Each structure stands twice: as C-alpha cells, then as structure tokens.
Structure 1
C-alpha cells in the first residue's frame, strides 16, 4: 500500500453524494464530478482514497490522536495499561478519557467520529461509482473478477471504520451508498451490517494481495477481521473456524521473531494480517501519510533522539503484570501487585542519583519490548535515563512506551521531513499473535482446552526466544517465560488466555475493548484504580458505571442531525 497510498488521496473526496445538511459531510479539498470519475481509473483512485483514511488523517499532521489506528487513547489509556502521560495541562481532554469522565464536546471523540465517517463516505463513493460503471453509465467496465474484488476491499474497509466507531460509541448510524445524503438514525445494532460486509469480503477476496500491493485487504485479512467481530459477538464456533483458517495458512508463530512487529525494516512480514501502511518522505506532504496518530508518544527531553511529546506512558500496574513466578508463569491471582516494582518512582533526589536496576527481578522478557524502564537499554537509543526522558513523572509515572518508537539509526530514513516524531512505522490492526490468542479464547469457550493450551503456549514459546536486554553484558532481569503444563479447567484457561492477551498485546490498542467485551471492565478498572491510585491522586476513588463501557456521541453531530441522532445510553 505504500506504493498506492498517496495517489489521489486528497483529490478524490467527492461531494456528489452529499447534501449541505449531511452531518457526515466534510468540505472537499477538490472536486470531480461523478461523470468524470466513472472510469476504471476513477474507481481505483476512489478506492485508494478509502484506504487513505486508515491512518486517521484527512490533512495536516497534528490533531489526529483520537483517530489513531493504534487506538492508544481509547484502547489503552482508557484501560489499566497506560496513562495519558505528558503533563496535566497538555491535551487536557485526554485526561477525561483516562478518568472516564468525558463530555460530548471532547475533541478526541469528534476526531474519531469525523475521520471514521469520512472513511465510510469514501468507501460508499467507491461502491456507488463502481456500480454506475458496471451498469454502463461511464467508460469501459472492469472484468467481473476485479469488480468483485474492489467491492470486497471497499466493504472490508467500511466494516473496519464502523467497527472502530461502534466499539467506542456503541450506537452509531449505518450509512451506505444507498442512504448517503440522508439523516440515518442510530437506533439499531449495526454489528449485523458489519458482519455482512466482512462475509462479502471473505467470499470475494483471494489469498493474493489485490494488484500485488502491500497493505491491500485480502482473504486472510477478511477472515481475521470477521473472526474478530464474531468473537466480539460471542459467536465462538464461527469465529474459531475463521481464525484457524488463517493460522493454518501462515507460518508457525514460534518461528517469527516478536520484535519484527515493531521494526520499521521488518514490516509487512508473515505476522502482519491487517495492516495500516505509513509512508514518510515520499509524498511531498510533510509526513501526512505517516503515523501521525502516534506522533505525541515518544519520550520527552532534549537528550532523546525523538523529543515529542511525553504522552502514552505504561502504568505501574502493567509493568508489574510482567512478573513471573519461579516456574516462569504469570501471577494470575493478582499477586504481582505485592511489593510492586516502581523503578525510581517516589525516590528522593539523592536516592535517584544512586539508583541501580534490580537485576534479580523475575520478568517475562516481553516487558523490554513494551516498556522503557530506567537503567535498561531502550532500543538503540542508549540506557533509559529516567526522569530526563519523562515530561512529568507525577502525571505519567516512571515508564515510557517502546512499541510505537523506532531505532535512532532509522530516524533519517523513517521519519517525516523535519518531523522526527512522524514515523513510517506501520500499525498492525490484527497480527498473527493476536489471532492465536483469539482462537485460544474461542477454544476455551467451545470446550477445546487442549487446543487453547497449545495456542497459548505457542505464544509463550515465541516470547521465550526474545534476546534478553543486558547491562554491561549481564541480563537486566531474571528473564523467564515457560509454557503452561496444563489447563485444569475452563475458568483457569479463560484467566490464562486473557492474561496472555494483556502481556502479548499490551500498548497495541486492544485492552479496554477486551475488558468491555469480557464483561469485566468495572471490576478490573476499579481494582486498578485502587492500586494505581496509591501513586496518582487523580485515579483515587474512581468508579466505573455501565455507561463508561462506551463514550458519548459528539454533541455537534447530534445538533447537525436535527434530532435524528440520539445520545449514547447514560450520557
């Protein structure tokens, strides 16, 4: 997709299916008529535009944080994995997301809503013009195979944008190419529509990337996405079949290095199933096609290779979740919070000066791929120095994020012109490790505990191969990760699978949505607030209500709909 992402990206925002009162309308940067676009090139260009919104950006670079494909704000900061970080006064509306107290005027909500519906509109435009072309209203038609393939790509993309919307807002209108330009109420469950689009994609996409271009949606992407959505609907047997089909078609996970998922030079490898492609330095737009959603999420301080802007800091609770027992297994009973590891947090200035890493702590090695901690090497940047890499320790704690960063040696070629905080690092929406664990979850819920054990242990066996971080040639911790000997019952297996998802996928945008679909958001987050609130006053005493499993619709969208849209329940 890096080869096609920029083509027509801003040119092909159409107005022909819009009306002035349409609450989904955005001002186009340029316009072509429907007649001009009813050609094969026009349809292909429209489809590229539909792909273009995957990075959450319409134009510019700043301000796309809520729509980031990594979903770091709604998927991680809203959970027990991450703090907003930075300082209290910077992006204050994000504080409300972390504390589950947003109002309908929160700009992060509008950001996600607008970008996703712009993506929906581009998909609908593609489908409408394609139908016109194939019915003889324009130039020469596509061959039937390519026409079906385009429909599959566009409908999978549309399903993606709606999936992002429904997870955050719960109640959203479902607008298609047939209903665009009218006000559509948000009074129906749209998951059946999402599933229908994905089923079409599965049936009409092949296992070969369309046009042989990286980043395009293929059958594996469609199977994986449909499996994920069906899992959210607790249709475990159907999801299991789809996820297993992807697993069987891909290499053994244990042979694929974990670190390749977060290496800009190893992108689009066999673990990448549904990918948002990012490109910098080639489009003349100053990085607009780069990873603009994550551009705030680097260590803060002039001593760091990328100095912006101190957001998205792992929690103390997450760091301690990587502890293991003597057998190399996670502490599933929550005892990882006993005698918590705090790095240098809370120490006096003198104590911080004399701080040394405790190399005897027993950790899963994935901690170093996820969390930058003081005294331990951070990528090729050198030793993470603690406070000098953090904007405000009292707001975000002692840790920094790793997965969204890149090597210092890659900055020259892998960042936007004059903007080192806009990288070309792709975002994996669904990767093979995720699929293994979703399949393991389905196995538990359908009574196949031996298969669940095999899948979870494959994820752990791969983790055991991670090269340990070292300090002067000595491992920075007592790293150990071992396979489970057995899953004695479904409750134990369920707990193990869910804990493994946290460890494997931490800081990748899944956690809050997992807690909600498991029905444990209230108990998990309130327990977390009770623990993390010992160190951050702004989390003390927070209570999760039913409404907090989703977020309010943007008020401006309700106003523009003249009352057609209704606010999300509880707001």
Structure 2
C-alpha cells in the first residue's frame, strides 16, 4: 500500500480550537510529495492531520460517502429495526440490499466503506513511517511529542480497523512495517485484526494526555482511548476489563446534569459528553469536504427548508418503542405493537389530527420528526410535504442530523443546507454509561446497573416538551426511573431497551443486536410487524452470514485472489 510517492493530505480536516470556537478544518489541496519532503516536523504533523481527516468518512468531494459516514447509518441503523433507507424504492437500490440482507460483493456501499477506511489505515501508517524517519535522524520532533503522535495515529488506526471489522470481519492487517504496495497485496485476510486494535488502543492509553492536545477538541486523548478499548472488550464479552475502563472514563462526571440536546446542537459542541468525535465544518470559502458529508442524504425533502434528500427515515417500530406505560416505563415490543401509532400513514389528508394523549418518552420528539409536532425552528412538521414516499418508507423523518435554519448561513454549505458542520459522536458519555450498565448486569451487580440506567432516564425526564401548532404538548410525555430490576434477565432487557431509546439513529443498533446474539429473532419479528404497514419490509430473512457483509469483489480482483470472500 506504499508507493514511491506518498499521497499526503496536509492540514486536513479535524479539530476545534477552544479559543476561537470553530474548527480549523481548512483543507489544503491534495498533493504528491516525496518522502524526504514530508519527513520533517511539519510533514509529520500534516500527515497526522490527513489521517484525522478520514474521520468524516470522506477522501474527496461531497457526494457518495454515505456508506462510510462516521454515523454508520447505512450499516448500523438502516440494517436494523431503527431506520429505513427512505427516499423511493428505485433510488440508491444497492442500499435496499444492505437493508434486506441480500447484498452481493459488487454492492458499491461495500467498496466505499472498504476503500475509505483503508485509506485511513494507510494514512495512519504513513504518519508512523514519517515519524520513525524523523526520530532516526535529526529529531525535529521532541520525544514527548513523538509518543503523542504515535498514540494519535495508532488510535485512529484502531478506529478505522474497528469500523472495517464490524462490517467485514475478515480484513487484511496492514501496518507501518509493510514496506511496499507489492508486499501489502500479498497479505491475506485470514488473521484476526482485534489483537492489533487492542494493542493500538493500549498504546494510546499509555501515551496520550488526559487533556486535548493544544485544546483541540477533535484530538484523541487518554479517556477516548479508554472508552474505545472498553468498547472493544465489550464486543468480546470481556465485561470485567471493560467495566474497569468505563468507570475510569465516568469518574467525577455527572451525566444527569449534561443537556441531552447539546449532543446534536451545532452551536454547543465540544461539551463534556463528547468522548470520541468526528469533527465537521464548512470551510471559510464555503467548501464542504470537511462537513458531515456522510449524512447529507438524511436531509428533509420537498417543501422543507433543507429540500434534499429524503433518506434515512425512522421505522414505525422505533417510533412505537418510545411508548411508555402509566409508570413512565417502556412497553415491550408485543405491547406497543398491539396498538401502534402510525401518524398520518393511513390518513394523510388535511383532516388528520395529532393525538396528544398518547404516552411517549420525550426523547421520541428529539429523535423523530412527526406530523403536527414542532421541528427545530422549521415550524410544524407537515407530513408528506417533507417526505418522498411515505407509503414506501413511512411517515417519519429524523432530527439528530439536522441543524436549525438560523444556522444555515454559518454552518451549512451555500445553497446546500443538507451539508452541515454538525459533528458526529462516535462515542458519547451516555453510550459509556450504558455500556458500563451492561457490564454490571453481566457481573450480577443489578443495583449498579439500575443506577446507571436511571441516570440516563432521569436526564431524559428534563427534556422540554415539543409543541403542536396550538402550543399544547405534542404528547403525554412521561419517563421515570426503574424502581428495581426483578432479576438479571429483566435488567438485561432494560439496558438493551435503554440503548435503543437513548442512542437511536446514532449508528449502534445493528451492531448491538449482532453482539447480543439476537439479530435474527429481533429483525425477523420486526419485519413481520413493519411489513403489515410498509410492504417493502415484509419477509426479511436473516441468514447464517447476515451478521457481516461480503468482501468487495473489486478488492478481491485487485488482490489476484489473495483476499478470500466471506
């Protein structure tokens, strides 16, 4: 994967300087520089910035990065019971195959994910090579800073490999020790990459500072590395090791007091809940390469202030999962499916009236846009006027990827309000809280799990109610703490439900279902329910190999058969 000429993206996208309050995501043109030219302090730091720039899932341009979005909405949400592809049946049809588990190896979403994140791995490796050259010569970079650069590059590499592993499982292990492209091409995908990810994260924990380098909020730090290693251990069911790390990340922090919506407010980013973040910005010249390009399709359609593109719609099942009982606790799937709320799906006429007596967790209307309810500063969501085909993908739209109209001038690309500077949290503190709760359940500490889950729910109870056009509350909002967990199974169900509600449409759901071992039962049951109202989603079959996707055929061909298909 190394050429005689290194392709280094200098000064590329990331990071926030706290003193000025805005990213220095000012991407310089991509140029071809020889190794001696970049083998100095500025070259190494520039190469590191190039490695960070892949965090937003974009190598160049703006269109076409959907499958590599840092939110992982295509694989993490659209493939789950949380979201539909949206738009129309005939639009972006390869995505349909991701959603219904019929994808073949030529699907362009697979090659996008593979190529973008291996580009990230390559840039991390190049950074480490250039740093090694500096340290073996005049040493323009101090030993202390050299360890930090190694920690940043290795943690980024761990992140990129983790994303590749979750989607493909079997990937070739390419490190900075691989000297040439010819050597890299001979590496098969028959080794487990998780030990390398673990090794990289442990190095990052040992060598990164506890505070952000230069106060730049997009940087990796010790806490971010601890959270990520804990997440890796959780996926491996190493609960005790994961819990130790999560407790260190949570120490001294009060989640309940942290405003929930700050996680999705472009004017209030960089708060204490942001642990691992993909930083985004619109450049000063209006260019959007460093923006949240992967989520651009989720912009609202039609007469909405955004105008494009109508993808990434919440499912009917997700919306109804926010239903609560008289005690403010979640209903079971069988209970909420017995009498589902469908908005105006069956009555899209002007006569539709929102039922404000329905009992919902208030996080619903901070996650989903539905007819008759206020939506950011756009006004009341009108229903089909903002949706491309409600009969195909349902009557709901997402909120978490959108910014207010009042921010279009400064945080959206000129004339393209679906390209924004809104950051994406790869790991946020509530995620850590609930991962720790999961570990406590598996350790049999139900009281510890109860406190953590209830912290998340207590914060949810502080959310301001969304309103109707008349100023009334849009639902009978109610969310209360659990009084107790009757047993380990009840606690496990509560934690898993809370992850769905709190982290809905943030890229976790499908991967959670897979690691819990319940993907087949949950998704086929969901399909039977959803298909009653949206026929395109009926009859889903989750097969023996549906937990991950095919190796892209183009990569198998390029490797001359060294890479083996899944």
**What band does the TM-score fall into relative to the shorter chain?**
over 0.9
CA RMSD of aligned residues (A): 1.2
Deviation string 1:39-76 (CA, Å, 9 cap, x unpaired) is 11110000000000111111111000000001111000
CA distance in 2, matches of 1:33, 1:8: 20
Partner of 1:275: 277
The 3-state SS of whatever aligns with 1:203 is: helix
User: Partner of 1:338 in structure 2?
Assistant: 338
Partner of 2:152: 153
Task: Give the deviation of 1:141 after TM superposition.
Answer: 3.0
Q: 1:278–1:91: structure 2 CA closer, same or farther, 3 Å change rule?
A: same
8 Å contact 2:26–2:283 — kept in the other structure?
no
Matched, 1:253 2:255: yes
Paired with 2:414 and 2:188, the residues of 1 have a C-alpha distance of 43
| Alpha-carbon offset, residue 210 of structure 1 | 1.4
For the 8 Å contact 1:469–1:475, the answer to whether it is kept is yes
Match of 2:199 in 1: 196
Q: Matches of residues 426-445 of structure 1 in structure 2 within 5 Å?
A: 426-445=423-442
Could you tell me how far apart the structure 2 residues matched to 1:394 and 1:474 are? 28
Counterpart of 2:374 (choices 377, 391, 395) is: 377
> Equivalents in 2 of 1:441, 1:531: separation in Å?
27
Which residue number corresponds to residue 495 of structure 1? 493
CA distance in 1, matches of 2:333, 2:160: 37
In structure 2, runs of 5+ residues without a counterpart are 1-14, 18-22
User: How does 1:1-16 map onto structure 2 within 5 Å?
Assistant: 1-2=15-16, 6=25, 10-11=29-30
1:166 is matched with: 165
8 Å CA contact 2:16–2:215 kept in 1: the answer is no
Instruction: Give the 5 Å matches for 1:244-393.
Output: 244-249=247-252, 251-282=253-284, 284=285, 286-301=287-302, 303-332=303-332, 334-347=334-347, 352-393=349-390
Q: How far apart in 1 are the matches of 2:377 and 2:491?
A: 37
| Aligned counterparts, 1:63-212, within 5 A | 63-136=64-137, 139-179=138-178, 181=181, 182-183=184-185, 184-212=187-215
Q: Which residue of 2 aligns with 1:484?
A: 482
For residue 5 of structure 1, report the CA deviation from its aligned partner.
Answer: 5.6
Say whether the 8 Å CA contact 1:441–1:452 is kept in structure 2. yes
TM-score between the two structures when normalised by the length of structure 2? 0.94
Q: Does 1:221 align with 2:218?
A: no
Q: Distance in 2 between matches of 1:420 and 1:528?
A: 33
* DSSP 3-state at the match of 2:491: helix
The aligned counterpart of 1:521 is: 519
Once residues 363 and 498 of structure 1 are traced to their aligned partners in structure 2, the CA distance between those partners, rounded to angstroms, is: 18
Q: How does 1:395-544 map to 2 (within 5 A)?
A: 395-471=392-468, 472-544=470-542
CA distance in 2, matches of 1:8, 1:419: 19
Instruction: Please give the alpha-carbon distance, in whole angstroms, between the structure 2 residues aligned to 1:392 and 1:519.
Output: 33
Deviation at 1:411, TM superposition (A): 0.9
SS of equivalent to 2:55:
helix
- Asked if the contact 1:313–1:401 (Cα under 8 Å) also holds between the matched residues in 2, the reply is yes
Q: Which is further off, 465-474 or 491-500?
A: 465-474
- The Cα offsets for residues 513-570 of structure 1, whole Å up to 9 and x where unpaired, read as 00000000000000000000111222222210121111111100000001110011xx
Pair 1:267–1:486, CA change in 2 (3 A):
same
1:8–1:49 Cα contact (<8 Å) kept? no
CA deviation after TM superposition for structure 1 residue 417, in Å: 2.8
Closer, same or farther in 2 for the Cα pair 1:390/1:109, shift >3 Å?
A: same
> What is the number of equivalent residue pairs in this alignment?
542
Report the secondary structure of 1:334's partner residue: helix
* Stretches of structure 1 lacking an aligned partner (at least 5 in a row): 12-29
Task: Name the residue aligned to 1:556.
Answer: 554
Which secondary structure does the structure 1 equivalent of 2:140 belong to?
A: coil
Partners of 1:441 and 1:497 within 8 A in 2: yes
Cα distance, 1:10 vs structure 2:
4.7
Question: Cα deviation per residue 1:398-442 (whole Å; 9 max; x = unaligned)?
Answer: 000000001111111110133211000000000011010000001
Residue 7 (structure 1) shift: 5.6
- Judge conservation of contact 1:440–1:452 (CA < 8 Å) in 2: yes
**Which range moved further: 208-217 or 233-242?**
208-217
